[in-house]
Structure 1
């Protein structure tokens, strides 16, 4: 990692003194990094963001920003921009006045405020809307104004809490790329909170996955997708088939798992596996082959249960290895050897395409 910019050390947060919504968080964020905190509702990701913003105080531990402790510094003295899901624009102010507000609070001169507002609105391509009020703007336009207001005072860090959650799918995907490009151009730090895994994988340098107040894994999107650290991350990030079984052998990071029907599956061995122990074998739907080559060791007979059309691809639900809900993802243009429910076909996958994970 390059120069450390943000650090959480031993941070815990409790609201009642008994249960903890964030537990033992140790996290370093590099200078200029786009970090996304991802997890289900109640996992601790938003509380972590609020502690960094200063709206919540940690119960234990320290938070530093540019090597300065900030866990007891009030929010307005942290030089952090914040963008919320509901935009939080002042309805009685024009767009220009909303963007100028943080600068007026910092008592900048009128000429400098005018210039900075112009630059910020140009940055988000909203210069022609300066005299309008928020109720005259679409959701995407309001989000751009909220982003301009968070950037106008040139903060060292911008925090975003589900900023695109209220937008429709097409606009949300467009804004994801706009924010990503803006981050690359400005080189500032962004810490972004979402429960949308696709959004996290699309935008981030690294993603931290939270569950039950614990940071389960932090890694670049590709590593998170390909090498999940535990069953929770594997099933939360993208789609994964999960097959429970017993570890019968481990050798050189390769293991053999006995599936519910007695079939033996060969795969990559994750950390902490032991012979004789129960494990979860995870396998992406797009890695399963229909009518695989004979040299592939993992070859099993599958029975077709359901065909689900998704436009650009088709999902097949099959029964195999003693599991009734194994999904296969194939391109819509690809020939499918099984067409009628109840028919059978051979499926298979390479050992390196599946991963056995220890049960915690």
Structure 2
């Protein structure tokens, strides 16, 4: 496996020569990897994708693909397939003609063109729709055709910019798995942009989290969820409780945090944490247990502010450890055990389920 199939080295992008929308980007992508760029609007993820596609040029730094510099190569010579949110299908062409278009631009012979179109449509399970036009297709079907068109010329790399953003929830989740399985079968490189955290965690080998033009962390979905590098990643990926406190004891990977109401919490220590420093302690709602055993390291009294029914689970908003908005996720089977808002309950969690992060 080539560990640096794609490489951004010191890449910066500015449109006005003063402020940067991408800052000091160093990012390497291995051969065959599915990498998702995730972040809020304006964070730099789409600009990064557009620089890789060739639609934007970096202001500083270099971009290489399979060992070759491409930052000055025009888009049509990069051998990259691109899928956009709006599909960009030609309305006057049939499905087959849309998929064949990149091959015609490459002047392939008729026999090979026909065979490749057939294979590409089979790949996305749309072979029976070859003679239809885009306006005769559903959103999910149009997205499959856009994907087939991006794959038909056998590119080194496929880029996808919010490709499922226009689909409803059920179809979106179905297409996530379709794209993931297709990637697994073909072994191609995919760089995918989304602002949907669930989508990123579901589909990716690794996820790069952007904020304010800077790559905050790049890691596997499991590592991002369990060991976020900083408070931004912790609160952006999934749902997290953020509890303010001060480091009162630090011993290797373990620490103790005193919160604003004087509670002391045993936790794991994030990178760069220092004795006496202010910190944000992050804790997933599903890791909090009710009525913990007496003598547990983290055992506190909480006051219920709100109960919210979600079908398969119940969410509680409680006040505890000096925080007015601690969220607890409870299975629906335990819903009968709760009283109305204002009741006091016992909550707790294991030290390894919470992490104290250094503030930047």
- Contact 1:290–1:337, Cα closer than 8 Å, also in 2: no
Counterpart in the other structure of 1:111: 111
* Deviation sequence 1:46-74 (CA, Å, 0-9, x none): 00000000000000000000000000000
- Contact 1:22–1:213, Cα closer than 8 Å, also in 2: yes
Counterpart in the other structure of 1:339: 339
Deviation at 1:333, TM superposition (A): 1.1
- 1:179, 1:341 → 2: CA distance? 44
Counterpart in the other structure of 2:98: 98
- Contact 2:201–2:221, Cα closer than 8 Å, also in 1: yes
Counterpart in the other structure of 2:5: 5
Deviation at 1:334, TM superposition (A): 2.4
What are the equivalent positions in structure 2 for 1:96-245 lying under 5 Å apart?
96-245=96-245
> Is 1:88–2:82 an aligned residue pair?
no
Q: Tell me the secondary structure at the aligned position of residue 334 of structure 1.
A: helix
* Deviation sequence 1:206-263 (CA, Å, 0-9, x none): 0000000000000000000000000000000000000011111101211111111111
- Contact 2:314–2:335, Cα closer than 8 Å, also in 1: no
> Is 1:51–2:51 an aligned residue pair?
yes
Counterpart in the other structure of 1:76: 76
- 1:123, 1:249 → 2: CA distance? 57
Deviation at 1:33, TM superposition (A): 0.1
* Deviation sequence 1:24-49 (CA, Å, 0-9, x none): 00000000000000000000000000
- 1:51, 1:318 → 2: CA distance? 45
CA RMSD in angstroms comes to: 0.9
- Contact 1:304–1:338, Cα closer than 8 Å, also in 2: no
Point out the more displaced range, 226-235 or 267-276: 267-276
- 2:244, 2:343 → 1: CA distance? 25
Counterpart in the other structure of 1:293: 293
Q: Tell me the secondary structure at the aligned position of residue 317 of structure 1.
A: strand
> Is 1:255–2:259 an aligned residue pair?
no
> Is 1:266–2:271 an aligned residue pair?
no
Counterpart in the other structure of 1:307: 307
- 1:163, 1:295 → 2: CA distance? 50
When the two structures are superposed, what TM-score results if normalisation uses the length of structure 2? 0.99
Q: Tell me the secondary structure at the aligned position of residue 228 of structure 2.
A: coil
- 2:279, 2:202 → 1: CA distance? 30
Residue-pair matches, total: 360
- 2:335, 2:158 → 1: CA distance? 48
- 2:156, 2:273 → 1: CA distance? 43
- 1:180, 1:252 → 2: CA distance? 39
